[in-house]
Structure 1
Amino acid sequence: MFRLSSEGSLHTPQSILSRLQTERLFAERRNQTVIRKFRYQFKSERTFSSSWTASRAPSKMNPLLSTLLFSLLLLLTLRIQELIEACSCAPAHPQQQICDSALVIRAKISSEKVIAPSEDPLHTHKMIQYEIKQIKMFKGFEKLKDVQFVFTPFDSSLCGVKLEANNKKQYLLTGQILDDGKVLIHLCNYIEPWDDLTFSQKKSLNQRYQMGCGCKISTCYMVPCSITAPNECLWTDWLIERKLYGHQAKHYACIKRSDGTCSWYRGGPPLEKEFVDISEP
């Protein structure tokens, strides 16, 4: 039996069968190639996914180590919160604090009273009102004659000052005078029990400290440390004694001379005899 193809060629059953087998063989090869490609692609994707998952997945941690890390993070967070909320003041020599204050008085604290916040922009926080008995005024005559009350923030984080209100202990108080005439004191002011002041500090309150308000007192923390201007005094307590309020802060004042230069002066003998030039520690 013979069959005529559409192209007009003659094919026997054997040739047709051979062609079908050939086409079937090519089809099977194509399918195998597709399957191999699919398997390779699937394997590659699975390998990538596994490696990505392994790299991203958190590793198991020792329970003790996990607890320690958590505790450390908690303590660090609390410490940062304390630093944010705490009052911080730049170190300043007592003379500088006296010069920067509008009011300097010696007084006893008679009583204290907590004042609630008000709508007044100057009193938006809870305050402590200290009733005082003024003993002597060293600075502030031109604005106030007699001070009866001083105010300080209630919270220590806002630099509030805690004083003994027993009408016995005397304090040196320095502070600022607000627009409404009220006196504000805080931890960054120079506030000390009167009995803790040295003889030189008490004498310097009358005139010497204010004689040196045109001088600049610079703190030395490390060497080299040298003056940068003729009217500058170097404060070396930290460098020599490893504490800020050491011998120099307690016994010396930085005084301006007639030629415009400034030098340390120790209270006691006349000015011209006791100048001490400390330009290099």
Structure 2
Amino acid sequence: MPLSLNGVLCTLAFLLVWRAEELAQACSCAPVHPQQAFCNADVVIRAKVVGEREVDSGNDIYGNPIKRIQYDVKQIKMFKGPNQDIDTIFTAPMSAVCGVTLDTSGKKEYLISGKSDAGGQMHVTLCDYIMPWDFLSNTQKKSLSQRYQMGCECKIVRCPSLPCEISAPEECLWTDLMIEKQVYGRQANHYACVKRADGSCSWYRGVAPPKKEFLDAEDP
């Protein structure tokens, strides 16, 4: 039985709403502590973005070209990654599919973490930790070179609701969202989860690397 005009319009409206909801829900990322983001990333750099253009990145299974945004960057410092400067970064063309929008004026410095493909190219998504450099605390800036790597064998566990607790000594409980009602609170800005001599992990606060007394201590 053929659809009436109203039926066709209703079907089209439903499909449009469904597609809009699909796109809106296509990129969903759980909050990640900056240290965990550092440990998960293949590449972590401080850089300025100086250019942008859309490029083809192969074809999908139907033969349609896959578009990517290529950012040209001027690397200031590499904290983690290959033994070569990063001069381009790739991302998806829309935020709905986790594409990242960056200031291309060259005036803003960013901390950028991301993945590296087999060819050594850096790729970023909205799920990666990308932050204007000026937004970072002094502790975070120091930890990029001195402390985060020390805790990559630890696991930072986000507290989704109270009460919550760790399930293993190698875990640090991240409570910013529950206690301070914000994703990046005191623990994200001023603490690192550090492995100690007994194999357990504990939050450590301070700009300097942990002293041996802390690493050897039985209690934090």
> Do both proteins adopt the same fold according to a TM-score greater than 0.5, normalized to the shorter chain?
yes
Given that 2:43 and 2:113 are in contact with CA atoms closer than 8 Å, whether structure 1 keeps it comes out as yes
Per the TM alignment, residue 94 of structure 1 is displaced from its structure 2 partner at its CA by 0.8
> Which one-letter code corresponds to 2:67 in the other structure?
K
| Structure 2 counterparts to residues 95-244 of structure 1, below 5 A | 95-119=35-59, 125-140=66-81, 143-244=82-183
Partner Cα separation in structure 2 for residue 176 and residue 147 of structure 1: 12
Report the 3-state secondary structure (helix = DSSP H, G, I; strand = E; otherwise coil) of the residue aligned with 1:268.
coil
> Which one-letter code corresponds to 2:71 in the other structure?
Y
Instruction: Call closer, same or farther: CA 1:197–1:244 in 2, change over 3 Å.
Output: same
Partner Cα separation in structure 2 for residue 270 and residue 235 of structure 1: 20
2:23 equivalent to 1:85: yes
TM-score w.r.t. structure 2 length? Answer: 0.83
Q: Give the number of the structure whose alpha-carbon radius of gyration is greater.
A: 1
> Which one-letter code corresponds to 2:75 in the other structure?
Q
Higher relative CO (Cα under 8 Å, sequence separation at least 6) belongs to 2
Given that 1:107 and 1:171 are in contact with CA atoms closer than 8 Å, whether structure 2 keeps it comes out as yes
Given that 1:106 and 1:137 are in contact with CA atoms closer than 8 Å, whether structure 2 keeps it comes out as yes
Report the 3-state secondary structure (helix = DSSP H, G, I; strand = E; otherwise coil) of the residue aligned with 1:125.
strand
Report the 3-state secondary structure (helix = DSSP H, G, I; strand = E; otherwise coil) of the residue aligned with 2:139.
helix
Given that 1:264 and 1:277 are in contact with CA atoms closer than 8 Å, whether structure 2 keeps it comes out as no
Partner Cα separation in structure 2 for residue 238 and residue 277 of structure 1: 28
Instruction: Call closer, same or farther: CA 1:119–1:212 in 2, change over 3 Å.
Output: same
Instruction: Call closer, same or farther: CA 1:195–1:260 in 2, change over 3 Å.
Output: same
> Which one-letter code corresponds to 1:85 in the other structure?
L
Q: Which has the higher helix share?
A: 1
Instruction: Call closer, same or farther: CA 1:233–1:83 in 2, change over 3 Å.
Output: farther
Q: CA RMSD in A?
A: 2.7
Per the TM alignment, residue 181 of structure 1 is displaced from its structure 2 partner at its CA by 1.8
Given that 1:204 and 1:267 are in contact with CA atoms closer than 8 Å, whether structure 2 keeps it comes out as no
Given that 1:125 and 1:153 are in contact with CA atoms closer than 8 Å, whether structure 2 keeps it comes out as no
Given that 2:195 and 2:202 are in contact with CA atoms closer than 8 Å, whether structure 1 keeps it comes out as yes
2:180 equivalent to 1:246: no
> Which one-letter code corresponds to 2:31 in the other structure?
P
Given that 2:143 and 2:192 are in contact with CA atoms closer than 8 Å, whether structure 1 keeps it comes out as yes
Partner Cα separation in structure 2 for residue 153 and residue 146 of structure 1: 22
Match of 1:41 in 2: none
Match of 2:195 in 1: 256
Percent of aligned positions that are identical: 50
> Which one-letter code corresponds to 1:176 in the other structure?
K
Q: Cα deviation per residue 1:17-65 (whole Å; 9 max; x = unaligned)?
A: xxxxxxxxxxxxxxxxxxxxxxxxxxxxxxxxxxxxxxxxxxxxxxxxx
Structure 1 residue runs of 5 or longer lacking an equivalent are 1-69
TM-score w.r.t. structure 1 length? Answer: 0.66
Per the TM alignment, residue 207 of structure 1 is displaced from its structure 2 partner at its CA by 2.4
Partner Cα separation in structure 1 for residue 69 and residue 190 of structure 2: 33
Number of matched residues? 202
Given that 1:177 and 1:183 are in contact with CA atoms closer than 8 Å, whether structure 2 keeps it comes out as yes
Given that 1:105 and 1:172 are in contact with CA atoms closer than 8 Å, whether structure 2 keeps it comes out as yes
Q: Which has the higher strand share?
A: 2
Structure 2 residue runs of 5 or longer lacking an equivalent are 1-9
Per the TM alignment, residue 208 of structure 1 is displaced from its structure 2 partner at its CA by 0.6
